[in-house]
Amino acid sequence: MEYRSLVDLYSQLEQNRSTLVKQQLLEEFFRAFEHDPDLRLAIDLLQGQVSPSFEMRVFSISEKNLLRLFQNYASEQIIQELMVIQGDLGTVIEQIGQTRVPEHRISCARVFEQLRALQNFTGKHSQSLRLEALTALFELAEPIERKYIVRTILGKLRIGCSVPTLTTVFGRLFPQTPAAQIRRAFNLHPDLRLCYDLLRQGEFEVSQQPQVFVPISPMLCQRVSSFDELHRRVSYPIQFEEKYDGIRLQLHREGTRVQIFTRNLQSLTEAFPEVVQALLKLPCESCILEGEVVVRSGFSDTARRRRLIDVQQMVQEYPIIVYLFDCLMFNGRSVIDSPLQVRRAILNELNLDRSVLQMTPFRPLNEPETREAFEQLLRANREGAVIKTLDGRYEAGERTFSWIKLKREYFSELLDTIDLFVIGGYYGQGKRRSRYGSFLLGVYDSSRDRYLSIARIGTGFSDEQLDQLKQLLDPLVLKDPETLILSDSIPDVFFRPQVILEIFASGLSESDERRLNRYSLRFPVFTGRIRADKRTGTSLEEILTLFRSRSEQTEPVEQTNLIIDQIESDDCQ
């Protein structure tokens, strides 16, 4: 298969927004190249990758380094001007690179192999080796092919070819297999090329059960906007769990081997050696468990444990707890289709020593108790709660009302609004090119007589609001922001603080004192209101008072579990 054939499909997919049209184009492509061995590689390339995401293989090439390859064709200023217009480096490189068409078209296999080779370079000179290899690849490619090679490297293919779209197409190609089974297979084995191979070989039953060391797409929670909606969605009694503010982990063990994956299917085994040792002590031969890891000192420190540098020092300085909440496989037997009560009973039988691994406390509750339990968590400044149906099975990769997440920001009646100044803007890409795609928000600190950056926000804006903000902000561009603004984040453009946005936020994080600004809002949400009626925003003092008042009753995580504290083991049955 020529790579140009795949590129032509890319272009058609990009130009057509209709999902039905995309599915038809993909089906025609798969049927046309049904017997071409490169079709398997095209499945990965259609997802903008050359290996399953859980293999943690990255290109490690930035936009800046890609531009170095084209310095002979255009100045940095011209490139930046084109970036503002196009909002896409791939399109810019297509326009400024050489227009000579190679004598022979490059194959899909050649592009795949070269891109995969880029991920294998390591060591001191790896970056220069990557750029040399990429230069050689670009010399073989046509301008439009370079466009999509660049997008693939940057992880921004922009063709709207999602996993659900591809699994639907697989259902058309192999109608004897129900589409629901194809989705389930991918969620249990997140590798579409493997799913396609199993479908063609007639061995699809193999993919219907989890496999140790192959990460499972996690089951996701639905949201509700009121307690009335919650009561309509569930049947009581329900299981009420505290939602911990940490990193969700999937723990795999077989014999003496252990692997730890995040919710994004990335491996973090080396970051948590104490979890590896704790898993090896469990009374089982194999298992797949799920839990939330929390550093005892709080969320701001939990993020530090993702690092793979100075791991032993991190273990000593930031001790952790993993709160286990589900079991997906135990001693070689899949339990994902078993009711939640059965899966929790297996966890309860593990007799955890509670030093590193602990059960997530829970309690069966009826309707009148649920709201009070949730509000009690919020009064203690906790993250929120998860409501689970007792007879629900584990639906990998699906978002269902068997699990419902409750957080303060989902309930507008529990939130206070904050008015913040727009102090910076980031150029938009794709649909938002020629506009600002996201904004840096600030708050006035009277003690320093400066506006401090406190949040970045980029969602919740309509096209009309983005156009309005561009008109309001362009005349306010600051060439010398140091006299007005203190910010560790550097946007593309700074603005004089005059435009105010109204937002919700679920909390306030406090960071290292060495930073210019110690504070940042957690989960800021734009309410949809541009406050043209206001000239003054919420002050830093007001924000600190607001969020500190919420946390006056807060106790250390390991000392209290509120309404679900000290639950006896018979509650697990």
Report the pLDDT value the prediction gives residue 98, as an integer from 0 to 100: 63
pLDDT mean over 95-112: 83
- pLDDT, tens only, 274-307: 999 999 999 999 999 999 999 987 666 788 898 8
> What is the Cα–Cα distance from 524 to 129, expressed in whole angstroms?
41
Report helix, strand or coil for 433: coil
pTM of the entire structure?
0.75
**CATH 1.20.1290.10 for domain 415-538:** no
Work out the pLDDT band at 86, boundaries 50, 70, 90: confident
Residue 470 above 80 pLDDT? yes
Q: Which pLDDT belongs to residue 413?
A: 58
- The four Cα atoms 212, 214, 217, 219 give a dihedral, to 10 degrees, of 10
Q: pLDDT confidence of 237, banded at 50, 70, 90?
A: very high
Q: Residue 334 has what pLDDT?
A: 96
Q: Could you tell me which of 260, 256, 261 has the C-alpha nearest to residue 280?
A: 256
pLDDT score, position 280: 96
- Give the per-residue pLDDT at 9: 98
Rounded to whole angstroms, the Cα distance separating 189 from 182 reads 10
- Give the contacts of 90 (CB within 8 A, at least 6 positions apart): 146, 147, 148, 149, 150, 151, 154, 156
Alpha-carbon span 488 to 442, nearest angstrom: 12
Domain extents in the chain? 3-154, 163-208, 220-410, 415-538
Place of tokens 């659900």: 164
What's domain 3-154's architecture? Orthogonal Bundle (1.10)
For residue 520, the model assigns a pLDDT of 86
* DSSP secondary structure code for residue 545 in this structure: H
Q: Which fold has domain 220-410?
A: D-amino Acid Aminotransferase; Chain A, domain 1 (3.30.470)
> Mean pLDDT over residues 433-444, rounded?
92
The secondary structure of the chain in percent helix, strand, coil, rounded to multiples of 5, reads: 40, 20, 35
Predicted confidence at residue 516, as pLDDT, reads 59
Residue 221 pLDDT exceeds 50: yes
pLDDT tens digits, 132-164: 999 899 989 999 999 999 999 999 898 989 888
pLDDT mean over 391-411: 89
Q: What's the mean per-residue pLDDT of the chain?
A: 87
Is the pLDDT reported for residue 553 higher than 50? no
Cα gap 537→250, rounded to integer Å: 43
Asked if pLDDT for residue 465 goes beyond 80, the answer is yes
pLDDT band for 505, please (50, 70, 90 cuts).
Answer: confident
15-29, 236-250, 421-435, 488-502: which has the minimum mean pLDDT?
A: 421-435
